[in-house]
């Protein structure tokens, strides 16, 4: 595996692979890698070369969030990527991604959806995400890019950004990787105490219950959301939101127009803000709009 730090180096390597007829897939990460990232690398390897970027992006953290304490260990990340068989690790410095500094940035934003759900609690977050991902795609120029489904809102927003800006890259959805007890793997899970770690899988359990009620025909979405949030509170969480949305675009669902849904939630458990989502389709035989 080659490790590079500059856009000139990463572009040169990607160009060599593409000139040789090989497909290059980028897996953008903020490091603190774990098995879920390994699974995304392996998904990338199915079609060719796997390139992984590691960059803790300052523009997606608001003041008071965990930018300074976000876990960083490039040596451990590189060792994990070598074992996973990644072809390239791109670990740029902040000035490589933001050469003019952070004070007067050119930004890429997706209005509307970026202000809902997680965006309502973290107003500048998704503008930071889209701005940095656009830069990483233009720096690396891959054929495809993989985003994990765990942050489903981010996935939908980044798909829209790629489509709206006509960026010539295929967006691939990576599945959620879970611990044996159902907790979605996340770098921030290390913020959980041992007691909180035992409680954390209940987030997924609550979403699964909500999805099951949808499959059973319940269509009072507001009540489903309230019930799920109340159950999370009883289990020690502090919910930011629980939401039932259309799966394709995260629009508000309609009881009269069955579709594929997704149940999403973000909730605090101690110092960790956990997110998760569960897909849900109408019962067999019920038409999908």
Structural tokens at position 49: 């070369």
Q: Is 37 among the catalytic positions?
A: yes
**Cα 212-273-201 angle, rounded to 5 deg:** 40
Among residues 34, 37, 125, 166, the one annotated as catalytic is: 37
Counting Cβ atoms within 10 Å, is residue 75 exposed (0-12), middle (13-18) or buried (19+)? exposed
Positions annotated as catalytic residues are 37
């Amino acid at each position: 595996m080659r490790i590079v730090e500059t856009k000139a180096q990463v572009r040169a390597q990607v160009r060599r692979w593409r000139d040789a007829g090989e497909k290059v897939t980028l897996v953008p990460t903020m490091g603190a890698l774990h098995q879920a990232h390994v699974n995304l690398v392996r998904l990338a390897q199915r079609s060719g070369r796997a390139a992984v970027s590691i960059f803790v992006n300052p523009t997606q953290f608001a003041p008071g969030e965990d930018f300074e304490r976000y876990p960083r260990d490039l040596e451990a990340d590189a060792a994990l990527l070598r074992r996973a068989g990644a072809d390239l690790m791109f670990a740029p410095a902040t000035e490589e991604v933001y050469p003019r500094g952070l004070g007067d940035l050119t930004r890429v934003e997706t209005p509307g959806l970026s202000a809902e759900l997680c965006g309502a609690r973290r107003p500048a977050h998704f503008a930071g995400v889209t701005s940095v991902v656009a830069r990483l795609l233009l720096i690396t120029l891959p054929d495809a890019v993989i985003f994990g489904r765990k942050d489903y809102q981010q996935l939908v927003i980044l798909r829209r950004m790629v489509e709206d800006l006509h960026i010539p890259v295929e967006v691939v959805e990576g599945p959620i990787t879970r611990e044996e007890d159902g907790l979605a793997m996340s770098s921030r899970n290390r913020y959980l105490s041992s007691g909180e770690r035992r409680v954390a899988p209940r987030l997924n359990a609550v979403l699964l219950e909500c999805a099951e009620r949808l499959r059973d025909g319940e269509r009072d979405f507001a009540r489903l959301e309230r019930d799920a949030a109340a159950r999370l509170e009883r289990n020690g969480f502090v919910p930011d939101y629980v939401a039932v949305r259309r799966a394709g675009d995260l629009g508000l669902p309609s009881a009269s127009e069955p579709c594929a849904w997704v149940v999403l939630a973000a909730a605090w458990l101690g110092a960790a803000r956990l997110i998760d989502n569960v897909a849900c389709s109408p019962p067999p035989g019920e038409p999908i709009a």
